[in-house]
Amino acid sequence: MTVNGNPINPLRGFFLCLILLFLVLSACAAPKADQEQNKLRNELKKWESFDSQGIIEISYMGLSLRKMFVASKNHAQFRLDVIDGGIMGAAAQPLISFYTNDYIAFASPFMPMLEQLNSNDLIPTQSLSLFTDTDSLMVLYGEEIIRTKKLEVDSLQISFLPDYRLDKVFDPQSLAKMKVSYGNNKQLSELEMNAAGNMAIKLIFDKIKYIEPHITPLPKPQTTNNSPFEGLNLKQLLKDFTGSKR
């Protein structure tokens, strides 16, 4: 076959069709890939920085405590305060505070021994810092999360819902588990955390703002060579605490 007297090379037509097909598929796939990347990035950003308040429920071996809380995260910094009294009231004061950045610290006027607790060996700070930089997380693991809806880093196992909202976190080393629940509006509703030894913590969110809040650090605890819980009866401690603050 000829066109204007010139023979047509069938291979040229074949490759031209392949190129056109590739361009069409690329044009269709690129926006979808970008959409998935943006969905994932937006969800990860929510865990990067926020300011929240609500109700915390702590239970351990049949004992329970239900109080208000204020929780704030700003990249690597995270602070949780369990509050006695109304959050905005004049009587509000922290019963216990937890802080983490490049170290972990506790504070409590009712349990001052916690301030000497060295828990760096108990709580995986590297896992806690995983959601400090969304851009870095996307570069390192974005494609894997989009493809599998899962992520495993330093044995920490993380699963996501189909729309990339965080679903579950499991740490095989400490046997700690976290389950995330959402309301009808797909906004964060509850965090349920379970640790070895029948310790359970539930955060029920009343308000959450995705901002970069100012966080006041707790003093860094002094290092000790003792076991972090040596001589500390957690059951009796919680029993005394819940009995006086119920």
CATH number, domain with residue 233: 2.50.20
Residue 212 lies in a domain: yes
pLDDT of residue 87: 47
Q: How many CA atoms lie within 13 A of 5 on its CB side?
A: 0
Any domain includes 37: no
Q: How much is the pLDDT for 236?
A: 59
Instruction: Quote the pLDDT of residue 103.
Output: 81
Q: Within a domain: residue 74?
A: yes
- Give the amino acid at 26: S
Q: Report the distance separating Cα 203 and Cα 57, nearest Å.
A: 7
Residue 23 lies in a domain: no
* Residue 160 domain-assigned (yes or no): yes
Instruction: For the chain, give the number of residues.
Output: 246
What pLDDT score was predicted for residue 128? 55
- Give the pLDDT of the chain (246 residues) as one tens digit per residue: 544 555 544 445 555 545 444 544 444 444 667 889 999 999 999 999 999 999 999 887 777 889 999 999 998 899 999 987 654 444 567 888 988 888 888 888 877 766 665 554 445 445 556 678 888 889 999 999 999 999 998 888 899 999 999 999 888 877 888 899 999 999 999 999 887 667 788 999 999 999 999 999 998 877 655 544 455 555 556 666 655 555
Three-state SS annotation for the chain = CEECCEECCHHHHHHHHHHHHHHHHHHHHHHHHHHHHHHHHHHHHHCCEEEEEEEEEEEECCEEEEEEEEEEEECCEEEEEEEECCCCCCCCEEEEEEEECCCEEEECCCCHHHHHCCCCCCCCHHHHHHHCCHHHHHHHHHHHHHHHCEEEECCEEEEECCCCCEEEEEECCCCEEEEEEECCCCCEEEEEEEECCCEEEEEEEEEEECCCCCCCCCCCCCCCCCCCCCCCCHHHHHHHHHHHHC
Structural domain of 50? 43-245
User: Residue 101 is encoded by which pair of tokens?
Assistant: 């950045």
CA dist., res. 193 & res. 200, Å (int)? 6
Provide the whole-model pTM.
Answer: 0.76
36 domain-assigned: no
Q: Rounded to an integer, what distance in angstroms lies between the CA atom of residue 49 and that of residue 28?
A: 34
Tell whether 24 is covered by a domain. no
At 117-150, the pLDDT tens digits run: 555 444 544 555 667 888 888 999 999 999 999 9
Query: Is residue 153 one of the residues assigned to a domain?
Result: yes
Q: Which long-range contacts (CB under 8 A, 24 or more apart) does 181-188 make?
A: 188/46
Total count of domains within the chain: 1
What pLDDT was estimated at residue 45? Answer: 92
- Please give the single-letter amino acid code of residue 24: V
